[in-house]
């Protein structure tokens, strides 16, 4: 029972972690809570259903190949959404008072939710393919193929993101930009480009998370982005917003807490766990586990 | 971005933007809609680039000045029109107006917190719920009447605002916003799951309408006067507080907190006060809502409700009390006026928020 | 008589010592300048004196009372007001409101009074407005009373900030680079305002870079370098202090 909950929690937590990376990267560079980031994940999930349906119906490939193609194309579409979102809602407000971009972000979030509701319907959508049920059974603990896939892909993505940020030219420029935007401009970094790249990377990861979750649960609803977004944001704050390592750990810790909490405390208040954790962390240690306190400039 | 020269022209940018939009729509809505969207984006962007910089029409930006000049005249005629409404309008219109009145009270309350003091509150629906449920429970369980409950729920909601603010105010800006959001969601989850007290998602039924001298004011035409009477009193009180040293202290905190503290304002105390004072009106609005519907359920107090109230404040102009009322009336009545657009209400609201922040962040009645 | 007595004041940020063991005394109704090269810790010292960032060690006695642990608004109540190096006005409020709000801690009335517009409310609100006008006149700003503070020219914004600080009715006024970025005529206006303030019986502490001005106006000068007090004295004493010359001009030139 406990082991089963740990596996479920780890699956859930991996998803939170990769969405949280999007929040944390954008916050690191723009100090903006990209409130609409959860909606990109939701779009990714819907695209997963739409594209998987398309690929299986047209019979271009087998189920495994179809899923791979779905992930790739969903990521591409979401990359566009991420890119466009930044250009439309945030870039024009870069020098506006701090409330403005947050409100704009809320606007985008509502827009995308209703866009999907209007085009895809308000009822749950079903993932068009059932993957083989079980991969591993050890006594009464089951781990499905999709769970293995989710955990493996998430780990892979987190490792590649870390390598990308620490090794590549663009990754280094991202770190430079997050530390000091003016200096980054002075040393010749194209800050606009770096910001776009950040949004695109975040969106790609959210899209992959979305497709995997759609395949895992089999059901998708236009409201999943808001809830997952809040939880992933909680994960990012838990680990210390701005820290990539923190987002990963925060996601997994939150996933475990939620699945254990639902099993042993109360399943009705499952969604409240994230909120309570969020509030407590913000009040007790706002810098998170890995963040550091930044004194306000006078 | 470093682009080849041919991609950096205006035409290329327009085509790219239109193409991007069309591709993004493709999987959701099919080929035809995508083509239409492509054409739409391309033509809108072309028109904009041909007409030069977008400028708000000058008549639009002089609204505040015109209103200021004819203040008394406008106020009197508005009051006259509003007072005459129940005599000529049918139940449907009165219903809409009552909702506009209730939302106005909510919006002017939230405006104290967000507009005057600059503290973004994304969980205001929780206070609205607090007022509504307080009356619902006191009335259905103990049988207390409307007028006894009015001060009780207002003060209780005020205390709730204060209690939330005590810990939350240690946070700044965005983090404060997220904590209030979390608080709002937790409140809704509790209302949804505490079956023995709140009947969960089924809500509480059989709430009584107010009575005066034993006569029930259940008829909306009478209830209308209660709502607008209370709105008028709220407006008067809030305006007077706004124009006193309390209002000035709030505005100072919003504009520069450090400077406010060095001219002797206890910023923590006044922020707490703003939360308590703003929430007070949510308590009253919640009661009015519960008594009107004679029914409350958690689904009236979602995050979207908080966003809707916030949108009213922003649309009218952050920090402008009358603006908040205008915003409330517009956002309640417009969707009713465009019935066939009902489905698109939230879609338009979302896009509207983005456009408002971009082109008129100070709202309709704000002055830049 | 000393009105302010700083004893071994230190402030650390993380591991960085911004000021260390700074002590000095300020005489009533004097003008004291705090000078020193960039990064000497002058603004940090002001932030310690006004409670914005309380000192990590040491005490600050104001009229015999230790204020080093008090929050900014309490310190203002006791009678210390300040301006900022980077002007911190309330730009969307009008000029007169900027000054009116500063009397918050001096003229009070209750919330119910404000709601029912009681007699006390009306007379006190009138007093607030009247006094605000007086301070605007002192700073030569009465013509701008109804404009937004953010729309004022730069030099006037500096003077408005001084007027606002004066409206808290302080005994000590701390001015952080009151003439920074000003042209000679604006500088003269501020200087004459500072002298007027001194004539009102106030004590003034200022941070200033313009040596000509500092030497001309100060009764006493405290010199900081790298967070440490390296000298203090009258303008003549400080001008001839080898340590001060070294701090400003570097070692070689000093010899």
- Please compute, for residue A95, the number of CA atoms within 13 A of its CA located in the half-sphere on the CB side: 0
**Looking at the structure, do residues C65 and C99 belong to the same domain, yes or no?**
no
Arithmetic mean of pLDDT, A109-119: 92
User: Subunits with at least 3 CB pairs below 8 A relative to chain C?
Assistant: A, B
Q: How confident is the model at residue B167 (pLDDT cuts 50, 70, 90)?
A: confident
What backbone phi and psi angles, to 5 degrees, belong to B318?
Answer: -50, 130
B64 contacts B366 by C-beta, under 8 angstroms: yes
Q: Which CATH number fits the domain that encloses residue C177?
A: 3.40.50.300
3-state helix, strand, coil in chain A (%, to 5): 75, 5, 20
Question: What is the pLDDT at residue C255?
Answer: 42
Across the interface, which of B28, B181, B354 has its CB nearest the CB of A104?
B354
Indicate the range of B133-147, B353-367, C97-111 predicted with least confidence. Answer: B353-367
Q: Which residue has the tokens 């790739």?
A: A72
Determine the average pLDDT of the residues in A165-185. 87
pLDDT for A291 equals 59
In a domain, C98, yes or no: yes
* Closest Cβ–Cβ partner in B1, B181, B185 for A193: B1
Beta carbons of B251 and C77 less than 8 Å apart: no
For every residue of A117-134, DSSP letters joined together read: HHHH-SS-EE-S-PPPSE
Half-sphere exposure of B101 (CA within 13 A, CB side): 28
Give the Cα separation of A203 and A44 in Å (integer): 9
CB atoms within 10 A of CB A90: 24
User: In this model, does residue B253 exceed pLDDT 90?
Assistant: yes
d(CA B109, CA B119): 13
Domain assignment of residue A292, yes or no: no
Long-range Cβ pairs for the range B18-21 (8 Å, 24+)? B18/B42, B18/B45, B20/A80, B20/A83, B20/A84, B21/A84
pLDDT, chain A, mean: 86
Residue A93 is classified by DSSP as G
In this prediction, residue A133 carries a pLDDT of 63
With beta carbons under 8 A apart, name residues in chain A contacting B120.
99, 102
Residues on chain B touching C92 (C-beta within 8 angstroms): 251, 255
CB distance C86 to C41 below 8 Å: no
Q: Which of left, alpha, beta for B293 (phi over 0: left; psi -120 to 50: alpha)?
A: alpha
Predicted confidence (pLDDT) at residue C69 exceeds the cutoff of 80 = yes
Residues C179 and C246 placed together within one structural domain of the fold = yes
pLDDT for position B2:
53
Q: Do B175 and A98 touch (CB under 8 A)?
A: no
Residues B191-237: pLDDT tens digits?
998 988 888 889 999 888 888 877 777 788 889 999 999 999 999 99
Cα(C10)–Cα(C45) distance, integer angstroms: 9
Q: Which residues of A touch B175 (CB under 8 A)?
A: 237, 282, 286
Residue C84 falls within a domain, yes or no?
A: no
> Domain boundary at C142, C169, C196, which?
C169
The answer to whether position C225 is within a domain reads yes
Output the CA torsion sign for A189, A190, A195, A200.
negative
Instruction: Tell whether C155 and C179 lie within a shared domain.
Output: no
Residue A298 has pLDDT above 70, yes or no: no
Per DSSP (E only), the strands in chain C are 2-13, 16-27, 31-35, 57-62, 65-66, 80-82, 172-176, 203-207, 220-225, 228-233
Query: Of the candidates B246, B251, B264, which has its C-beta nearest C77's C-beta?
Result: B264
Tell me the C-alpha distance between B279 and B264, whole Å: 25
Which of B360-364, C157-161, C239-243 tops mean pLDDT? C157-161
- Cβ of B240 within 8 Å of Cβ of C114? The answer is yes
Kindly determine whether residue A298 and residue C43, on different chains, have CB atoms separated by under 8 Å.
yes
Chain C residue whose CA is closest to B252: C90
Structure tokens at B162: 């204060």
Specify which residues B204 forms β-bridges with. Answer: B296
Q: Give the other-Cβ count within 10 Å of B90's Cβ.
A: 10
* Residue A168 at interface with chain B, using a CB cutoff of 8 Å: no
Per-residue pLDDT band at B3 (split at 50, 70, 90): low
Q: A136 at the B interface (CB within 8 A)? A: no
Quick check: C244 and C230 in contact, CB under 8 A?
yes
The alpha carbon of residue A143 is apart from the nearest alpha carbon of chain B, in Å, by 31
Q: Are residues C178 and C71 in the same domain?
A: yes
Judging contacts by C-beta atoms under 8 Å, the chain B residues touching residue A102 are 120, 174, 177
Residue A297 pLDDT class (50, 70, 90 cuts): very low
User: Under DSSP, is residue C50 helix (H, G, I), strand (E, B) or coil?
Assistant: coil
Instruction: Say how far apart CA B338 and CA B352 lie, in whole Å.
Output: 16
Structure tokens at B299: 């689904």
Pairwise CB contact (< 8 Å): B171 & A282: yes
**In a shared domain, residues C106 and C221:** no
Pairing mode of beta strands B295-296, C2-13: unpaired
Q: What backbone torsions phi and psi does residue C237 show, to the nearest 5 degrees? A: -60, -45
C136 Cβ contact list (under 8 Å, min separation 6) = C95, C96, C99, C142, C144, C145, C163
Burial B245-263 (b: 16+ CB within 10 A, else e): bbbbbbbbbbbbbbbbbbb
| Whole-Å CA distances, A60 to A52, A54, A166, C24 | 11, 9, 38, 84
> How many angstroms away from the CA of A94 is the closest CA of chain B?
10
Let me know: does B119 contact B113? Beta carbons within 8 Å. yes
Measured between beta carbons, the chain C residues lying within 8 angstroms of A298 are: 43, 47, 52-53
Q: Write the DSSP symbol of residue C94.
A: B
Supply the CATH number for residue A266's domain: 1.10.3470
ipTM for this model: 0.90
Judge whether residue B176 has pLDDT over 60.
Answer: yes
What single string gives the DSSP state of each residue in A239-260? H-TT-HHHHHHHHHHHHHHHHH
Rounded to 5°, the CA angle A67-A71-A74 comes to 130
Q: What are the two backbone dihedrals, phi and then psi, of residue A128, each rounded to the nearest 5 degrees?
A: -75, 5
C139 found inside a domain = yes
Mutation site, C84, C93, C104, interface B, largest B CB count within 10 A: C104
Domain co-membership, C184 together with C153:
no
- Please tell me whether residues C70 and C177 are part of one structural domain: yes
- Report percent pLDDT > 90 for chain C: 60
A62 part of a folded domain? yes
Q: Cβ separation of B263 and C167 shorter than 8 Å?
A: yes
Cβ-Cβ pairs closer than 8 A, B with C, add up to: 96
Q: In 3-state terms, chain C is what percent helix, strand and coil (to 5)? A: 45, 25, 30
Q: Which domain holds residue A227?
A: 2-284
The count of structural domains within chain C is 2
Q: Which two tokens stand for residue B10?
A: 């205006």
Spatial distance between the Cα atoms of A254 and A248, rounded to a whole number of angstroms: 10
Q: What is the pLDDT of residue A295?
A: 42
Q: What is the dihedral of CA B270, B276, B279, B284, to 10 degrees?
A: -130
* Residue C213 pLDDT > 50: yes
> B237 and chain C: CB distance < 8 Å anywhere?
yes
B118: chain C residues, CB-CB within 8 Å: none
Last residue of a domain, one of C141, C169, C197: C169
Would you say residue C85 lies in a domain? no
Q: What is the pLDDT of residue B367?
A: 62
Q: Would residue A198 count as lying in a domain?
A: yes
B368 interfaces chain C, CB cutoff of 8 Å:
no
| Pick from C82, C103, C106: CB nearest B262 | C82
Q: What are phi and psi of A15, to 5 degrees?
A: -65, -50
- Identify the chains in contact with A, defined as 3+ C-beta pairs within 8 A: B, C
Number of domains in chain A: 1
pLDDT of residue A296: 44
DSSP 3-state of C18: strand
Q: Are residues C101 and C224 in the same domain?
A: no
pLDDT digits (tens, 9 = 90+) for A118-136: 988 888 888 887 776 666 6
Q: By C-alpha distance, which of C172, C2, C202 is closest to C75? A: C172
pLDDT of res. C253: 47
User: CA torsion sign, B189 to B192 to B197 to B203?
Assistant: positive
Rounded CA separation B276/B225 (Å): 26
pLDDT, position A113 = 92
Position A297 in a domain: no
Q: Say which residue the tokens 């509003």 belong to.
A: B82
Are C186 and C137 in a shared domain?
no
C24 is a domain residue:
yes
Residue B64 has a pLDDT of 65
Expressed as residue numbers, the domain containing C50 is 1-79+173-255
Distance CA A128, CA A214 (A): 10
Residue A290 falls inside a structural domain: no
Task: Give the residue from C230, C235, C232, C233 showing the smallest Cα distance to C246.
Answer: C230
Phi-psi label, residue B280: left if phi above 0, alpha if psi -120 to 50, beta otherwise? alpha
State the DSSP code for C105.
G
- Indicate yes or no: CB of B261 within 8 angstroms of CB of C73: yes
The verdict on C126 and C139 lying in the same domain is: yes
State the smallest CA–CA distance between residue B298 and chain A in angstroms: 15
Any chain B CB within 8 A of the CB of A110? Answer: yes
Residue A296 contacts by C-beta under 8 Å, 6 or more apart in sequence? Answer: none
Backbone angles phi, psi at C62, to 5 degrees: -115, 115
Mean pLDDT of C216-243: 90
pLDDT tens column, B305-345: 998 999 999 989 889 999 999 999 999 988 887 777 777 88
Exposure b/e, B298-319, CB count within 10 A at least 16 = b: bebbebbbbbbbbbbbbbbbbb
Instruction: Give the model confidence (pLDDT) of C4-19 as tens digits.
Output: 999 999 998 878 888 9
What lies within 8 Å, CB to CB, of B295 at 6+ separation is B203, B204, B205, B206, B207
Instruction: Note the pLDDT tens digit of each residue in B265-298.
Output: 999 999 999 999 999 999 999 999 999 999 999 9
The chain B residue lying nearest C109, using CA atoms, is B245
Residue A247 lies in a domain: yes
Give the number of beta-carbon pairs within 8 Å between A and B.
145
**Chain C contact present for A295, CB below 8 A:** yes
Tell me the average pLDDT of chain C: 89
| pLDDT above 90 (res B301) | yes
With a CB cutoff of 8 Å and minimum separation 6, the contacts of B165 are B271, B272, B275, B276
Q: How far is CA A81 from CA A84, B17, B348, in A?
A: 5, 12, 18
- Last residue within a domain, chosen from C115, C143, C169: C169
State how far the Cα of B312 lies from the Cα of B364, in Å rounded to an integer. Answer: 10
Shared domain for C226 and C155, answered yes or no, is no
The answer, yes or no, to whether residue C84 has pLDDT greater than 80, is yes
Helix (H, G, I), strand (E, B) or coil at B360: coil
Choose the closest CB to B353 out of A97, A104, A116: A104
Cβ C13–A295 below 8 Å, yes or no?
yes
* Contact criterion met (CB < 8 Å) for B249 and C88: no
Can you tell me the distance from the alpha carbon of B51 to that of B209, in angstroms, rounded to the nearest whole number? 55
Shortest Cα–Cα distance, C173 to chain B (Å) = 11
**pLDDT tens figures, B31-62:** 888 888 888 888 888 887 777 665 555 555 56
Average pLDDT over residues C58-86: 93
Q: Are residues C178 and C156 in the same domain?
A: no
Instruction: Determine which of C52, C75, C82, C90 to mutate to test the interface with B (most B C-beta atoms within 10 Å).
Output: C90
Residue where the block lists tokens 């309570």: A276
DSSP-assigned letter for residue C221: E
Residue A39 lies in a domain: yes
Report the length, in residues, of chain B. Answer: 368
């Amino acid at each position: 029972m406990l082991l089963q909950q740990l596996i479920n929690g780890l699956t859930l937590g991996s998803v939170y972690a990769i969405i949280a990376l999007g929040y944390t990267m954008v916050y690191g560079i723009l100090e903006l809570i990209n409130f609409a980031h959860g909606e990109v994940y939701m779009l990714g999930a819907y695209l997963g259903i739409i594209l998987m349906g398309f690929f299986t119906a047209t019979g271009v490939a087998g189920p495994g190949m179809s899923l791979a193609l779905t992930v790739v194309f969903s990521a591409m579409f979401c990359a566009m959404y991420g890119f466009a979102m930044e250009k439309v809602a945030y870039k024009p407000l870069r020098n506006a008072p701090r409330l403005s971009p947050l409100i704009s972000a809320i606007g985008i979030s509502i827009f995308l939710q209703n866009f999907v509701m209007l085009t895809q319907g308000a009822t749950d959508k079903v993932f068009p393919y059932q993957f083989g049920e079980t991969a591993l059974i050890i006594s009464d603990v089951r781990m499905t193929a999709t769970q293995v896939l989710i955990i493996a892909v998430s780990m892979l993505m987190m490792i590649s993101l870390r390598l990308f940020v620490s090794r590549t030219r663009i990754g280094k420029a991202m770190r430079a930009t997050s530390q000091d935007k003016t200096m980054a401009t002075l040393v010749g970094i194209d800050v606009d480009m770096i910001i776009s790249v950040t949004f695109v990377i975040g969106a790609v990861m959210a899209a992959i998370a979305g497709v995997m979750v759609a395949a895992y649960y089999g059901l998708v609803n236009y409201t999943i982005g808001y809830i997952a977004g809040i939880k992933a944001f909680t994960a990012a704050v838990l680990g210390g917003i701005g820290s990539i390592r923190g987002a990963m750990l925060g996601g997994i810790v939150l996933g475990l807490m939620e699945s254990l909490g639902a099993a042993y405390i109360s399943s009705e208040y499952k969604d409240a766990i994230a909120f309570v954790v969020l509030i407590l962390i913000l009040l007790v240690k706002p810098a998170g586990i890995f963040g550091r306190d930044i004194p306000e400039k006078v | 971005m470093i682009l080849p020269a041919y991609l950096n022209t205006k035409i290329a940018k327009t085509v790219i933007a239109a193409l991007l939009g069309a591709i993004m729509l493709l999987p959701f809505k099919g080929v035809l809609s995508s083509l239409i969207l492509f054409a739409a984006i391309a033509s809108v962007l072309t028109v904009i680039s041909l007409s030069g910089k977008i400028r708000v029409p000058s008549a639009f930006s002089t609204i505040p000045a015109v209103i200021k000049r004819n203040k008394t005249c406008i106020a009197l005629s508005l009051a006259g029109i509003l007072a005459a409404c129940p005599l000529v309008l049918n139940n449907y219109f009165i219903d809409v107006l009552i909702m506009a009145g209730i939302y106005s009270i909510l919006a002017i309350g939230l405006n104290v917190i967000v507009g005057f003091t600059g503290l973004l509150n994304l969980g205001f629906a929780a206070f609205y719920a607090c007022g509504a449920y307080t009356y619902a429970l006191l009335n259905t369980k103990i049988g207390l009447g409307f007028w006894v409950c009015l001060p009780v729920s207002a003060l209780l909601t005020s205390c709730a605002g204060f209690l939330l603010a005590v810990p939350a105010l240690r946070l700044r800006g965005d983090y404060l916003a997220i904590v209030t959001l979390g608080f709002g969601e937790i409140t809704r989850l509790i209302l949804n799951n505490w079956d023995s007290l709140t009947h969960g998602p089924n809500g509480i039924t059989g709430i009584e309408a107010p009575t005066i001298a034993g006569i029930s004011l259940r008829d909306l035409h009478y209830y209308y006067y209660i709502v607008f009477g209370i709105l008028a009193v709220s407006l008067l009180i809030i305006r007077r507080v706004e124009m006193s040293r309390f209002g000035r202290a709030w505005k100072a905190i919003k504009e520069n907190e450090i400077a406010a503290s060095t001219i002797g304002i206890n910023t923590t105390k006044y922020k707490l006060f703003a939360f308590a004072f703003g929430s007070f009106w949510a308590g009253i609005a919640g009661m009015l809502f519960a008594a009107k519907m004679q029914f409350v359920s958690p689904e009236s107090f979602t995050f979207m409700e908080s966003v809707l109230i916030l949108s009213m404040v922003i649309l009218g102009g952050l920090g402008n009390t009358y603006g908040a009322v205008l915003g409330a009336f517009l956002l309640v009545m417009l969707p009713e006026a465009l019935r066939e657009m009902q489905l698109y209400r939230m879609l338009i609201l979302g896009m509207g928020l983005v456009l408002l922040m971009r082109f008129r962040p100070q709202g309709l009645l704000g002055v830049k | 008589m000393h009105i302010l007595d700083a004893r071994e004041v230190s402030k650390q940020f993380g591991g960085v010592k911004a000021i260390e063991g700074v002590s000095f005394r300020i005489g009533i109704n004097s003008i004291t300048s705090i000078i020193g090269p960039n990064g000497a810790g002058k603004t940090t010292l002001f932030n310690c004196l006004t409670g914005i960032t309380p000192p990590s060690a040491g005490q600050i006695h104001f009229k015999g009372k230790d204020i080093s642990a008090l929050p900014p608004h309490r310190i203002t109540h006791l009678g210390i007001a300040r301006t900022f190096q980077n002007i911190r006005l309330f730009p969307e409020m009008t000029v007169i409101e900027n000054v009116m709000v500063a009397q918050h801690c001096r003229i009070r009335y209750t919330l119910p009074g404000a709601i029912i517009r009681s007699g006390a409310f009306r007379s006190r609100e009138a007093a607030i407005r009247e006094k605000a006008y007086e301070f605007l006149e002192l700073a030569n700003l009465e013509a701008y009373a109804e404009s937004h503070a953010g729309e004022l020219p730069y030099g006037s914004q500096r003077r408005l900030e001084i007027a606002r600080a004066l409206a808290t009715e302080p005994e000590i006024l701390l001015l952080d680079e009151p003439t920074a970025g000003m042209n000679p005529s604006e500088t003269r206006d501020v200087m004459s305002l500072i002298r007027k303030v001194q004539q009102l019986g106030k004590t003034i502490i200022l941070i200033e870079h313009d040596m000509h001005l500092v030497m001309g106006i100060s009764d006493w000068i405290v010199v900081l370098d790298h967070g440490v007090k390296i000298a203090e004295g009258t303008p003549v004493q400080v001008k001839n202090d080898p340590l001060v010359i070294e701090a400003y001009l570097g070692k070689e030139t000093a010899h």
